[in-house]
A = this chain, B = another copy of it.
Amino acid sequence: MTTEIEIKPTESELEILQILWEKKRCTVRDVHEVLTQNREAGYTTTLKLMQIMHEKGLVARDTSSKTHIYKALVNQQRTQQHLVSRMINNVFNGSASRMVMQALGNHKASKEELDAIKQYLDDLSNK
């Protein structure tokens, strides 16, 4: 039996995690700059969020120089996995396929994406 870990980043934390997953090592300012491309936010707000994420163990930070360097501690795949599973249960009564169809019906994937998914499905079937 594996140890149960609660992976439950808030929405703001997820925004930041996505940036950290992308860019590996970031200062608060790095993150803040990306964040404010989309929406308004004060610098100390971003700072505070990242400090809280550190308390929670979502990120690690290197404090050896004045400007701290952050990186994600939680695994991208595992986190995504966890969140998708929760949504399947919470919103789709446990039916993965229903969610998949809902996602594809709406979100207009490109032909390449659709082909990739088909390929993936074939691989799954032949295992």
Contact = CB atoms under 8 A, between A and B. Distances in A.
Contact of A120 (B15, B92, B104, B111): B104
A91 B124 contact: no
A124 B105 CA distance: 8
Interface residues of A, number: 41
A11 interface: yes
Copies in the complex: 2
Interface stretch (A45-53, A54-62, A64-72, A93-101): A93-101
A104 B85 contact: no
- Closest 8 interchain pairs by CB? A96-B107, A97-B113, A96-B109, A84-B103, A100-B100, A96-B103, A14-B90, A80-B102
